[in-house]
Amino acid sequence: MNEILKVKDLNVSFKDSQGLLFSHTVTKHVLKGVSFEIKEGQILGLVGESGSGKSTIAKAVLGLVPYEGEVIMDNAAPSMVFQDPAGSLNPAKRIGWLLDEALYLRGEKDPDERSNKVLEMINLVGLKEEHLKRYPKELSGGQRQRVCIGRALMSQPRLLIADEPVSALDVTIQAQILELLRDLQKKLDLSILFISHDLRVVYNFCDRLIILKDGVIVEEGDPKVVYRTPKDQYTKVLLSSI
């Protein structure tokens, strides 16, 4: 199996100015030598408590923050799904328009071809044609996240980065979205970087698991194994909260 994404010794730091009167800049090291890889068709779970640097990893991979180290990808750019589906969809636009835009921005000029693809995608993520005419606020949270996933897949990416995609959803809806992602991963042979602060969500969903603490990977392995025999103290703490 080939790697779809390889991250080597990733370091990210932010400069923060502290103090009101006598302000001085402090360098905050958010990621300290993070290395991991995602193989083709694999779902990699990235777990860690809030503030551990998970989103920063995603941003570095997407090139949204300056970093040191290596991020190696095949040429297709990854797509991104955010935590809050309501905030990720422009409230002033209809679902059909939002999906169509993803194609338009890729330079696809033929509107008929685009609308066929949009229709295909809305069905693929488990929604119906009638949803295309709706505004985001006229959908439920789960339906909105389906739209976000569909939009992310419009560019036919090889890698999908999902940053806490189910954290804002009810437990029953969470399961449905996870099932959809699993489904899509198989159908489209996707690789997924699945970010979560909740070990419960991840451990029987992903193929591999890494656990991040304060910008350092403290544990890596098969989720079942990590779950049964955690090596790191921090993982034990995460597990005990389940």
Ligand X SMILES: Nc1ncnc2c1ncn2[C@@H]1O[C@H](COP(=O)(O)OP(=O)(O)O)[C@@H](O)[C@H]1O
For residue 201, the 8-state DSSP code is: H
Binding-site residue total for ligand X (CB under 6 A)?
Answer: 12
- Give the C-alpha separation, 133 to 93, whole Å: 9
Tell me: does residue 50 bind ligand X (CB under 6 A): yes
- Give the C-alpha separation, 148 to 164, whole Å: 13
Tell me: does residue 55 bind ligand X (CB under 6 A): yes
Count of beta carbons in the 10 Å neighbourhood of residue 118: 24
Q: Which is nearer to ligand X, 65 or 77 (CB)?
A: 65
Residue 87 site contact among other proteins, ligand X, Mg ion, none (CB < 5 to 8 Å, cut-off depends on kind): other proteins
Q: Which of 9, 14, 116, 236 binds ligand X (CB under 6 A)?
A: 14
Q: Which is nearer to ligand X, 34 or 43 (CB)?
A: 34
Tell me: does residue 83 bind ligand X (CB under 6 A): no
Q: Which stretch binds ligand X (CB under 6 A): 43-51, 70-78, 119-127, 230-238?
A: 43-51
Q: Which of 4, 43, 52, 226 binds ligand X (CB under 6 A)?
A: 52
User: What x-and-dash track marks residues 63-102 binding other proteins by CB under 8 A?
Assistant: -x--------------xx-x-x--xxxxxxx-------xx
Beta bridge partners of 16: 26
The residue written with tokens 């860690």 in the block is: 48
Alpha helices in 76-110 (DSSP H): 85-88, 95-104
Per the CB < 8 A criterion, the answer to whether 119 and 154 are in contact is no
SS3 178: helix
Per the CB < 8 A criterion, the answer to whether 54 and 203 are in contact is no
Based on its alpha-carbon atoms, the radius of gyration of the chain, rounded to whole angstroms, reads: 19
Q: Can you give the binding site for ligand X, defined by CB under 6 A?
A: 14, 16, 28, 30, 48, 50-56
| Residues engaged in binding other proteins (CB under 8 A) | 62, 64, 79-80, 82, 84, 87-93, 101-102, 105-106, 148, 151, 155
